[in-house]
């Protein structure tokens, strides 16, 4: 923003002109350099030098929707962050999780949060859930050029639909592709490098009528399974007390589960897996060196 554009000589014309409710559209006319999609696209692939976020999982349950993400970001073969946060509240009733180039993705989340709040303040109303999903699609579409150079951003969006017809599930999940394609998912969805394994896990554990705590377990378990097989997904880390981030969105709004809640779920899963593993592998075998 130009410092002289506000303060010394009042509002520039554009501020008082047409009443539009979109913050992104407004920036496009007044400060396009602030928009992630308006910068020169790198001419060479740069994916390996930019940190990438990995697995995000979302599931619906009887009272709304849950979204969880692991804590790892990778840069090529390196772990660039063990405690990155990749799930954020978008507004009071929706959450967004991001996989892909972390720098661009976090900038996009910030812009998206302001976009929703800006609309709310100007219109005096909250945007519909489908409207929110579409605004996000437009943002992803603007990033296609960078995506082709290895800086793709693929979000997962979920929210509680305040306008849901009675009898229909209020929790809804939307997934995206790099071209800005917007797809509503049924029941559960995952994005990022570990999404294949996470979805396989959810396929077995998720049911549509789960209560919140059981659904939370399916989310954490799916992330555990993803971390088991995907090197770019981080598992629960009891040494550093780092556990997945899980948000729940229900009639009360978006709430982040406390670290203690998620840790309890993760510890239960780890204990159960260890127990199952001991039963499958007799003690004698492991003491004598295990399998060849």
CB of 122 to another protein, least distance (A): 6
Instruction: Pick between residue 197 and residue 243 the one whose CB is nearest to another protein.
Output: 243
Tokens encoding 277: 């593993």
Beta strands in 121-236 (DSSP E): 153-160, 171-176, 182-185, 188-191
Q: Give the closest residue to 103 by CA, choosing from 47, 33, 180.
A: 47
Q: Smallest distance from the beta carbon of 90 to another protein, in angstroms? A: 8
Distance CA 171, CA 41 (A): 36
Residue whose CB is less far from another protein, 12 or 181: 12
CB of 63 to another protein, least distance (A): 14
Contacts to another protein by CB under 8 A: 1, 6-11, 15-16, 19, 23, 26-27, 30-31, 34, 85, 88-92, 95, 106, 109-111, 113-114, 116-118, 120-126, 162, 247, 252-256, 258-259
Q: Look up 54 and say whether it is catalytic.
A: yes
234 close to 227: Cβ distance less than 8 angstroms = yes
Nearer to another protein, 110 or 278 (CB): 110
Q: Which position among 54, 55, 74, 126 bears the catalytic label?
A: 54
Chain-centroid distance of CA 191 in Å reads 8
Closest separation in Å from C-beta 274 to another protein? 28
Measured from the CB atom, the residue of 19 and 44 that comes closer to another protein is 19
How does strand 94-101 pair with strand 87-91? antiparallel
Residue that is written with structure tokens 């219109």 in the block: 123
Answer yes or no: are the C-beta atoms of 82 and 242 closer than 8 Å.
yes
Residues annotated catalytic, as ranges: 54
């Amino acid at each position: 923003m130009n410092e002289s554009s506000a303060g010394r000589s009042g509002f520039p014309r554009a501020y008082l002109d047409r009443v539009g409710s979109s913050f992104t559209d407004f920036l496009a006319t007044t400060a396009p350099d602030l928009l992630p999609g308006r910068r020169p696209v790198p001419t060479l692939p740069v994916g390996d030098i930019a940190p990438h976020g990995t697995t995000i999982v979302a599931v619906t349950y009887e009272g709304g929707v849950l979204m969880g993400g692991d804590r790892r970001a990778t840069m090529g073969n390196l772990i660039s962050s063990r405690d990155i946060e990749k799930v954020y509240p978008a507004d009071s009733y929706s959450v967004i999780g991001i996989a892909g180039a972390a720098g661009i993705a976090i900038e996009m989340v910030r812009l998206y949060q302001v976009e929703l709040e800006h609309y709310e303040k100007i219109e005096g109303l909250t945007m519909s859930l489908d409207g929110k999903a579409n605004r996000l699609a437009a943002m992803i579409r603007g990033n296609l050029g960078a995506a082709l150079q290895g800086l793709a951003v693929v979000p997962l969006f979920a929210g509680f639909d305040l306008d849901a017809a009675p009898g229909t599930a209020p929790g809804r999940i939307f997934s995206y592709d790099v071209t800005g394609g917007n797809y509503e998912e049924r029941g559960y969805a995952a994005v990022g490098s570990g999404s294949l394994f996470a979805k396989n896990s959810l396929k077995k554990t998720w049911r549509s009528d789960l209560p919140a705590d059981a659904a939370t377990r399916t989310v954490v378990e799916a992330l555990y399974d993803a971390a088991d097989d995907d090197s770019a997904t981080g598992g629960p880390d009891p040494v550093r007390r780092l556990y997945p981030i899980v948000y729940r969105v229900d009639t009360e709004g978006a709430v982040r589960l406390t670290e203690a809640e998620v840790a309890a779920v993760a510890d239960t899963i780890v204990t159960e897996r260890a127990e199952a593993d001991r039963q499958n592998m007799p003690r004698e075998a492991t003491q004598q060196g295990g399998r060849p």
